[in-house]
Amino acid sequence: MERLSDTLGRPVRDLRVSVTDRCNFRCVYCMPKEVFGRDHPFLPRAELLTFEEIERLTRAFAGIGVEKIRITGGEPLVRRDLETLVAMLARIDGLDLTLTTNGALLAPKARALKDAGLRRITVSLDSLDDDVFRAMNDVDFPVARVLDGIDAALAAGLDPVKVNVVVKRGLNEDGVLPMARHFHGTSVVLRFIEYMDVGHTNGWRLDDVVPAAEIVAAIDAELPLEPVEPAYRGEVANRWRYRDGSGEIGVIASVTRPFCGDCTRARLSADGKLYTCLFAVKGHDLRALLRGGATDEELARAVADVWSARTDRYSELRSEATADLPKVEMSFIGG
Ligand SMILES: C[S@@+](CC[C@H](N)C(=O)[O-])C[C@H]1O[C@@H](n2cnc3c(N)ncnc32)[C@H](O)[C@@H]1O
Ligand code: SF4
């Protein structure tokens, strides 16, 4: 099938589906408590896409060339019966299906997710130091339970298990090397992510970003690394493997080396808006079409029209000034 490209020649390849805007963590860089407090107006249930609506839209995206789906949030595992959605999406031919979670609820769920058809998973874990981790998730959640979740995912046969680490200057940068040591020699693939100015509530400053090159240098000094060729156009992570042959890591340099030129990702918010950039200010309302009785052809045409008109390249234009734009929150459209 001919894959659709946008105005800058970028094909649509990935779709990130946010299944909820809620989360059981309050990571300081994503859902700061001052903003996402007790009276924060989260989406009412009726506003969320149903699993059937998500499946229909996913099929429409598969029709224009999407081949990879990432279920995300908010925290996807707080959405009830998520394995039912996994089973529905796993039935769509030719789709690579994965999920990103904070791991808090993963230990008891890993087997059911695997049985439903999930093949791989990404768990976010910012520090192995319990005090630092509790401070970063800001709900006093112990690191041991996330490690249990990672073990359960490995035991269930989810493969690969990746671990996302957001690095923020002065907060968890000392934990980079301990993290590399911990997973060195295991099948777990670490992905270090530069702290980004997503949303407009996390008070982002360029000084808070630990450049990917610095992260690689810190690890390489003790555990020598060599670069790995990208597996495909648009691969987000720069991959490195240990010279001793015991695994690989990735770094996501979205701030210091923007990859807009190769960005093939579309994002669907929990209430059915299509965003063509993580840093978008506005989405396209697909739920209105779904609930207004659009046919499958009409849905497919709508997503194709949005993608063909896409111009976004925010990360290449980023500055301290653009950090203040009223961008949509990451917990709303997923990472
Ligand atoms: C928004 S979360 C949603 C899924 C799930 N709750 C989780 O934490 O894995 C997806 C990913 O985005 C990352 N993230 C959130 N805010 C970020 C920021 N300001 N900069 C870089 N990455 C961020 C998270 O660490 C996580 O790995
Ligand atoms: S990064 Fe994930 S776990 Fe942390 S607050 Fe955001 S959505 Fe929740």
The answer to whether residues 122 and 98 touch, using CB atoms and an 8 Å cutoff, is yes
**Cβ of residue 236 lying under 6 Å from some atom of ligand 1:** no
At 191 the pLDDT is 97
Neighbours of 157 (CB within 10 A): 12
At 262 the pLDDT is 78
At 258 the pLDDT is 74
Residue stretches of the chain with pLDDT short of 50: none
At 306 the pLDDT is 87
Residue nearest to ligand 1 atom 5, measured at CA: 101
For 238-268, the pLDDT digits (tens) are 999 999 999 999 999 888 877 777 778 899 9
At 322 the pLDDT is 62
Output the CA 110–ligand 2 centroid distance in Å.
19
At 264 the pLDDT is 82
At 318 the pLDDT is 61
Residues flanking ligand 2, CB < 6 Å: 23, 25-27, 30-31, 73-75, 102, 124, 331
% of the chain beyond a pLDDT of 70 = 90
Q: Which of 28, 100, 102 to mutate to test the pocket of ligand 2 (most atoms within 8 A of CB)?
A: 102
At 310 the pLDDT is 81
For residue 270, what are its two tokens?
Answer: 């929990």
At 269 the pLDDT is 95
